[in-house]
């Protein structure tokens, strides 16, 4: 058995983080290497598949073009996340509080997820115009579902004895909701929202494709039309980076909103 002093524990934690990052980074580097080699050897024209080096170059030339589109997509994704989270939380509360609603609503919610966004997006444009609204709606439609499923499960799993205890102290339904159900659902709510955050940006891009003035989706469309496949990849990388940033941000907010979880996990490790 090794005894970890705080200092060594800290450095081993940093080491663990490095060990966690190293494999995906190495794998990515290897894949990029193979890609670069294959494009060079097979002489693939850049309007079919640009090399990673060319894409990196395109980043530099697109530097001044990107920020506006990036900002648009970020705003759409974040607003969609917020709206989807709000709607998801409300639906979860409704489903958990009124069992008949659960039976009536749940199948519809599942059906709503089977409609391909690429079919729905043009209709949304028809209804909401070319502005930001249809994109926010697309994102919200993608976002709310994992939030509802995860939050409903957490609400159903609340220890009934805990509710009884609080009731025995004189709590009414609203107090039970505020003091037990809401806090009990917070970790699951954020777990669901984190999954959603990973898809939010892609949703916004799909929304933009159907019609928009700016956004990464428009950037992709324009680049493709002018055979700048390298710029398409630039946008793809931006989508990935933005998605990861949202994912991490939601995770961080979730940890702040549920600090007790953090303590419990620390105790277990």
The residue (of 64 and 168) whose beta carbon lies closer to other proteins is 168
Which residue carries 């984190």 as its tokens?
194
Minimum distance between the CB of residue 262 and other proteins, rounded to whole angstroms? Answer: 9
Whole-angstrom distance, CA of residue 87 vs CA of residue 81: 10
Minimum distance between the CB of residue 180 and other proteins, rounded to whole angstroms? Answer: 7
- Write phi, then psi, for 213 (nearest 5 degrees): -90, -35
Q: How many CA atoms are closer than 13 Å to the CA of 21, on its beta-carbon side?
A: 6
Minimum distance between the CB of residue 107 and other proteins, rounded to whole angstroms? Answer: 30
Minimum distance between the CB of residue 4 and other proteins, rounded to whole angstroms? Answer: 19
Whole-angstrom distance, CA of residue 55 vs CA of residue 124: 33
Minimum distance between the CB of residue 257 and other proteins, rounded to whole angstroms? Answer: 10
Give the angle subtended at the CA of 191 by the CAs of 190 and 196, to the nearest 5°: 85
Q: Which residues bind other proteins (CB under 8 A)?
A: 159, 161-162, 164-171, 175, 179-180, 183-184, 186, 258-260, 263-264, 267
The residue (of 6 and 259) whose beta carbon lies closer to other proteins is 259
Whole-angstrom distance, CA of residue 206 vs CA of residue 218: 10
The residue (of 240 and 264) whose beta carbon lies closer to other proteins is 264
Minimum distance between the CB of residue 82 and other proteins, rounded to whole angstroms? Answer: 23
The residue (of 123 and 159) whose beta carbon lies closer to other proteins is 159
Whole-angstrom distance, CA of residue 210 vs CA of residue 206: 7
Minimum distance between the CB of residue 178 and other proteins, rounded to whole angstroms? Answer: 10
The residue (of 99 and 267) whose beta carbon lies closer to other proteins is 267
The residue (of 8 and 178) whose beta carbon lies closer to other proteins is 178
The residue (of 47 and 260) whose beta carbon lies closer to other proteins is 260
Whole-angstrom distance, CA of residue 113 vs CA of residue 116: 8
H helix intervals, the chain: 6-42, 52-61, 66-97, 99-112, 117-128, 133-156, 160-168, 173-176, 182-209, 216-225, 229-257, 259-268
Whole-angstrom distance, CA of residue 184 vs CA of residue 187: 7
């Amino acid at each position: 058995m090794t005894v970890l002093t705080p200092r060594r524990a800290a450095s081993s934690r940093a080491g663990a983080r490095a060990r966690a990052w190293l494999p995906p980074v190495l794998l990515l580097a290897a894949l990029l290497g193979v890609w670069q080699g294959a494009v060079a050897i097979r002489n693939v024209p850049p309007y079919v598949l640009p090399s990673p080096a060319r894409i990196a170059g395109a980043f530099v030339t697109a530097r001044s073009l990107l920020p506006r589109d990036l900002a648009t997509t970020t705003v759409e994704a974040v607003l969609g996340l917020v709206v989807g989270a709000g709607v998801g939380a409300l639906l979860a509360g409704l489903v958990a509080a009124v069992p008949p609603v659960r039976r009536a609503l749940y199948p519809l919610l599942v059906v709503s997820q089977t409609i391909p966004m690429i079919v729905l997006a043009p209709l949304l444009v028809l209804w909401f115009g070319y502005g930001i609204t249809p994109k926010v709606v697309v994102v919200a439609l993608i976002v709310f579902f994992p939030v509802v499923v995860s939050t409903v499960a957490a609400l159903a799993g609340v220890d009934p004895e805990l509710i009884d205890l609080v009731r025995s102290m004189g709590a009414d339904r609203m107090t039970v909701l505020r003091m037990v159900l809401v806090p009990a659902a917070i970790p699951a709510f954020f777990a669901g929202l984190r999954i959603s955050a990973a898809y939010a940006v892609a949703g916004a891009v799909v929304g933009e494709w159907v019609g928009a003035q700016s956004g990464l989706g428009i950037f992709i469309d324009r680049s493709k039309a002018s055979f700048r496949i390298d710029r398409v990849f630039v946008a793809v990388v931006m989508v990935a980076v933005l998605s990861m940033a949202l994912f991490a941000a939601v995770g961080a907010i979730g940890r702040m909103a549920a600090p007790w979880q953090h303590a419990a996990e620390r105790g277990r490790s």
